Amino acid sequence: MEQVTEKKDTYTPKEISATRRIIGDRGEYFLRSVEGETMANISACYQCERCTNACPVSIYMNINPHQVIRYVQLGWREELLRSTTIWVCLSCEMCTTYCPNDVDVAKTVNHLRNMAFRSTVPPAEKVLAVFHETFVKELQRFGRVNEFWLVGSLNSHPDVLKEKIKTGALKEELFLGLELLKKGKLKLIPHRSKEMKKIRDICLKETRGTI
């Protein structure tokens, strides 16, 4: 039999304290910091939820896009850095496009992802976090992303390789890679961009959260 918990009319101060969520202990510091570094007008969000409704992967997030903005407003930094949302986000910018107040939701999420990347907080989506790190490194290496080298670098990570072998994803990738190679869609030799310095500077600023 399912146990029904009866609601009480009154609660003791201790019970209230145990259930109450506290706004960030540094007041508006976190909000002002993120706004200053992203130039996203986060304070303008009034929780209409259009960003979440427009997001194609919100069903895979534990904190929806509109909630991300609210968490920033409240200073809940740890919850954001431990979320799956910052790694699942596709950076398609649908959320930003549909915002009626021009809040740059996508840039805010990307900024939080970089914050998590620089922090000691364990990523909620380990494989996606490794992919993010590998992607940036390959971009700094060649100035553009070569799919063959990107996947090779990603699979060289022990945790990723172990997970792909376990799920059978590695076998699928090998067959897909062979098909792409036969059709001339997979380039084995990467080509460096002529604007390597500019790209590396952009990547450096991005990972530091200064753009």
pLDDT of amino acid 108: 96
Q: How many CA atoms lie within 13 A of 73 on its CB side?
A: 15
Q: Which of 92, 124, 156 is the last residue of a domain?
A: 124
pTM of the model: 0.71
Same domain, 151 and 77: no
Q: Is residue 11 one of the residues assigned to a domain?
A: no
Based on the domain organization, do 87 and 167 belong to the same domain? no
Same domain, 132 and 199: yes
Same domain, 86 and 149: no
The secondary structure of residue 124, as a DSSP letter, is: S
Same domain, 134 and 120: no
- Look up tokens 């790694």; give the residue: 87
Last residue of some domain: 107, 124, 141? 124
Tell whether 144 and 203 lie within a shared domain. yes
CATH code for position 53: 1.10.1060.10
Sorted by sequence, the CB contacts under 8 Å of residue 54 that are 6+ apart come out as: 94, 95, 97, 98
Judge whether 16 lies within some domain: no
Terminal alpha carbon distance of the chain = 56
Q: Is 10 contained in some domain? A: no
The pLDDT value recorded for residue 73 is 93
The pLDDT, as a whole number, for residue 31 is 92
Note down the domain range covering 205. Answer: 125-211
79 in a structural domain? yes
| Any domain includes 1 | no
Q: Is residue 5 part of a domain?
A: no
Last residue in a domain, options 89, 108, 124: 124
The C-alpha torsion from 75 through 80 and 82 to 87, rounded to 10°, is -160
> Cα separation of 166 and 52, whole Å?
33
Indicate whether 110 and 131 sit together in one domain: no
* Position 14 in a domain: no
Tens place of pLDDT per residue across the chain (211 aa): 444 445 566 656 666 555 566 555 555 889 999 999 999 999 999 999 999 999 999 999 999 999 999 999 999 999 999 999 999 999 999 999 999 999 999 999 999 998 888 888 888 888 888 887 888 788 788 888 888 888 888 888 888 888 888 888 888 888 888 888 888 888 888 887 777 777 777 766 665 554 4
129 and 92 assigned to the same domain:
no
Do 50 and 64 have their domain in common? Answer: yes
Task: Indicate whether 4 belongs to any domain.
Answer: no
Are 137 and 65 found together in one domain?
no
